[in-house]
Every structure is written in structure tokens, then in C-alpha cells.
Amino acid sequence: MSLFSGPGGLDLGFHKAGFETVFAADFSERAVETYNDNLPPVSRQLDLASTSPEEIVRLLRAGGTAPRGVIGGPPCQSFSQANVRQRRDDPRRRLIFRFAEIVQGVDAAFGLDFFLMENVSALAQPKHRKLLDKLKRSFEKSGFIVYEAVKNARDFGVAQRRPRLFLVGIKRDLARFAAFEFPDGEPGSKTVRSEIQHLPDPVFFDRANTGKRVPFHPNHWTMKPRSEKFLAAANGTGRSFKKLDWDSESPAVAYGHREIHVHPTGTRRLSILEAMLLQGFPQKFKLRGNLSEQVTQVSNAVPPPLAQAMAAAIRESLYDRRQFAQTALLEFLKARGRQFPWRTTANTFHLLVAEKLLQQTAARAGVVEAYREITSRWPTPHDLAHAPAREVRGIVQPLGLPYRADELIKLAAVIQRKHRGDVPLNRSELLALPGVGEYVADAVLSFSEKEAAAVVDTNVSRLLHRLLALPDTPPSNPSRSRRLKNLATWLADGQTSREMNYAVLDFTASICGARAPECVTCPLRLHCAGSNKGGTMPALVTFKPKQVERPLRIVARIRRLTNSRSARVHW
């Protein structure tokens, strides 16, 4: 979602990098019209200074959208060096904190992956440093790791010297995996000449011309130079009369009071279209509104190529890395996935029986034998509900936890009595069944392909803690952890739930084991935040807080637990 979106320069860059905007808002009616004419029409006019985060969340839910990131450029005039009358009581200074408040509200409601905020580079200078640090702390308290950089548009394919401040926040649980870095860019070869020399002469503004009679492009118009002051100062001296050089970049396209840069010929000021091209907008882009409104829009816009570079860095760090992990896991499933009879059944009741047998038990030959005997002798809930308890216990006994036989009989009886023999595929009804918890419900919904659901057990928790380098100790009952459930859902996003769950379960059973993970041959090692770029993954060994041992005894203990003489110790 996009806040303070203006005409859409930031959004256009994100779209070119593969993102989709589902909600945008700006105070300017003309900017909203421009946005909706050139980009998917999702922008609306809102005064974000007075719109609460709760209202934004309500609008998102009403539209059926759940954003993964928030981008925006709060108004920067109160921090700009061009503003020689800066005031501490300027209400626009609060808008950077309103951006943070909305990010925090949307994150609490939907769970975000990232945010990006753009502003003038002066905000990072000593005069405003305390304010910026306060803003960053507010993001950090909300669970983001915040990255800060000033980047110049000229280094990213824009014929303009325009340094801008960027704050990028990555959710803390994803930050180590993402390893975000700002793109470097490099000084390009684009100049004023390369961007605007090909254009014909513009139309001069007059009050009868509303912009509809501009033959080449509706924004290729400018003010007619009439004053003697302009003619006298056309050599490019003075703040209001900066004359551009054909073979250099333009100064920052940021015009106030119609102080538009002077064309390199010295005979007129730039047209709006020429300013747009120097901002990096494509020529097909069209601004709405009168001349003054167009000046404001082009001045406040983020150069789309600069925005695209920032978006591509976020996409690469979060989503390209995730895509790599997903592909590796699915290829592993295809090549080395385990074969079990319950994975090929279309019978939901049989699937439920399998998940009950697998509770607190590793998938092995004994489970397969018990599953086949129970489902062949008592194939329906009606049959199992009337099965002799002694016989069912005899089948389950070799697996341990013999009380599961009684649970299976009771479960079948409830399904027969309350649901007429059909396993309910509604989450709340599944959880209401005796002996069915979060894990079993998620497994049945996912493996029956009735609902996308991430299954989280101890093995999945272990993979998430290693792949994402989560700093805490894995919980004793991971299936009840909403945080791990969200992370597992994030990892599988965009893929078939059933296949991703099977892939992760099989991968943790074979490669990412508890005590001796095969990190050297692991297909995820290059993007696993916990493997130190292919190094040996330590076992998940924990020590009591007050336990004190000599370093060599600690190393010996880790090696003994991992069955490895070459285990590396990560302090």
C-alpha cells in the first residue's frame, strides 16, 4: 500500500520491479486523478494527517486486501533546505510520524514484511537528526530492523542531481534471512540533452488553453517569458533563473512559485513534460490539473528509476530469496520425497486417522502398517466407532501411547454422530473434534487441499529457526505458536500448500536433522541465514542460564551431541 502517493512516481518504480499496489492515498485531488489515469486505479483522496490507522485498516479490509509492505513519501517541505523559513511548529513535521503510526497499525492488523519511506536528504543532517532517530526508534519498537541511506537519483539512470533519504524496514524475524542492502548504483550517462533535446517546442500557457490543445503531449507547455527580469537573467544566475546545461544533469526538479529551471537555450523555462522526463518519468505518463498543479506534482514526485532500484533491492532480499528456497524445497520433494499411503488417498477420514497415528511419532514402517490395518478393517467412521477397543489397542500398541486407540474410536463416533460420517472441513468444526489440535487440523485442511494452511511441528520449527536465524529458543509446542505459523505461511506463500508442507517435512527428516544436519550438501545453504553461507549448522543445543562450563568442555559436549568431531561452534 502507498501513503502520500502523489502522482505515483514511487509506485511506478515498484510496479516496474514486480510489485502490485492494492491501496494508495493522497491529499491532492489532482495527484489522485493523475495516479488513477496512469496506474491501476487504486488511489483515493484522503487527508492522512487526520485519518486514523484504524480507519486505514477498515478500508483495507473492506477492499479484501492484505498488504505485505507499505511505501510512501510524507511531505518534506518542513525539512527541505530550500525552505528558508523552517518552523518547529510546522504541522507537516508530524507527517513522518503519522506514516509510522499507520505502518504500525497495518502491521498489527495484517503482519507486514517491509516498509519504505522516502524524504529529503536534509532530514538526516544534524539539524534534524534527533527527529529522525526518534522516528527510527518508533519503527524498531514495532519489530522492524531499520536501514538508512541517502541515494542520488543521478546514480540510477536519472538525468538529475537529486539526493533522497530512504528508510527501509524489514520485519525482525525476516531481517537476517533477507540480509537487505541498499543498491549502489553508478553515475550514468544521461544528460539534459539525452532526455529532452528530441522534443519539439512547447506550447505557451494562456488562460484559454486548458491543456487539451497541446498537440505533442498534454504536459508539453510552459509559461511565456515576458518580464524584463527574466530576459536580463537568462544567463542562469540567481535562484529563480537556473539555466540548464545540455551536457550535464539537471539540478533537483523541485520548483516553488513557478521557479522552473531555464531551458538550455535561455529563451524560456522548461515545459512540464521536460521536467517529467528529467525526473525519469516515461513520456507516455500524463499529469492532470492546471499548470500550477502539474508543477507541484512533478516537483514532489519520486524519480521512478530510483524507486525501481529500491524496490528491486527489497524484492531480491525478501522475495527472490524466498523463491529460491521454495524451488529448492519443491525440487527436493520431487527427487527425494517420501512415499506414504495416506499421501495418495482421497479419503479425508483416512487422512485424519494417519495424522492421529503420527502424533508424537516419527513416520516409519510401524505407522504405515497400523494405518493400513485400521483403514482396511474399519474404513468408515461408523465402522471404527463400533470397533473392539482391545483390537484397535493391539494395532496401536507397537507405536507407543496406546491411549490413541481410544481417541480414534471416540473421534470416529463423534464424526458419525454429529457430522453423519463426513469429516468436517471447517476449521472451527475440525478443532472441536476430540483429540484434534492445531497441527492435525492444519494438516487435514492442507493435505486434503481444502485450505491453504501451514503445518508447524518441532521439525518445521527447527527449519524456520535455522533458515531465518531466529534468535530465540524453539518453543516446546510449536504448533500453538502464532508467530511460527505466520512465518511458515510466509515461506510457503504463492505455492501449493500441500506440496510445500510435504517438502518441508521431508526435508527436515532427511537434510535438516536435529543433531547432524547435512549443511555441506544442503540446497538451501547459500540463502540459509543460520548456516553462515554454507558452514556447518550447529545442533540446537541449549544450556541452562546459570550453567558454567569451560570452553573446551562446551565444545566437547556439542560434538558429542552432534556426533561430529568437526562441529563448528558459533558463539
52-76 residue pLDDT tens: 999 999 999 999 989 999 999 998 6
Has residue 546 got a pLDDT over 80?
A: no
The amino acid present at 128, given as its one-letter code, is H
Cα–Cα distance for residue pair 221/205, rounded to 1 Å: 6
- Bridge-based pairing of strands 144-152 and 163-171 is antiparallel
Burial string for 471-509 (b: 16+ CB within 10 Å, else e) reads eeebeeebbebeebbebbbbbbbebebbbbbbbbbbbbe
Has residue 372 got a pLDDT over 90?
A: yes
The amino acid present at 396, given as its one-letter code, is V
**Strand, helix or coil at 233?**
coil
Residue 247 to residues 193, 194, 208, 326, 569: CA-CA distances in angstroms? 6, 8, 36, 47, 57
Please check whether residue 532 is in contact with residue 548, taking contact to mean a CB–CB distance below 8 angstroms: no
Cα–Cα distance for residue pair 33/464, rounded to 1 Å: 44
Helices (H), 448-527: 458-467, 482-492, 497-510
Q: CA torsion 479→480→485→488, rounded to 10°?
A: -20
Confidence of residue 527 (pLDDT cuts 50, 70, 90): confident
399 vs 308, residue with greater confidence: 308
Please check whether residue 174 is in contact with residue 490, taking contact to mean a CB–CB distance below 8 angstroms: yes
pLDDT of residue 532: 52
The mean per-residue pLDDT over the stretch 301-319 comes to: 97
The mean per-residue pLDDT over the stretch 327-339 comes to: 96
pTM of the model: 0.87
- Bridge-based pairing of strands 221-222 and 163-171 is unpaired
Cα–Cα distance for residue pair 431/452, rounded to 1 Å: 16
Cα–Cα distance for residue pair 279/302, rounded to 1 Å: 8
From the CB of residue 285, how many other CB atoms can be counted at a distance below 10 Å?
24
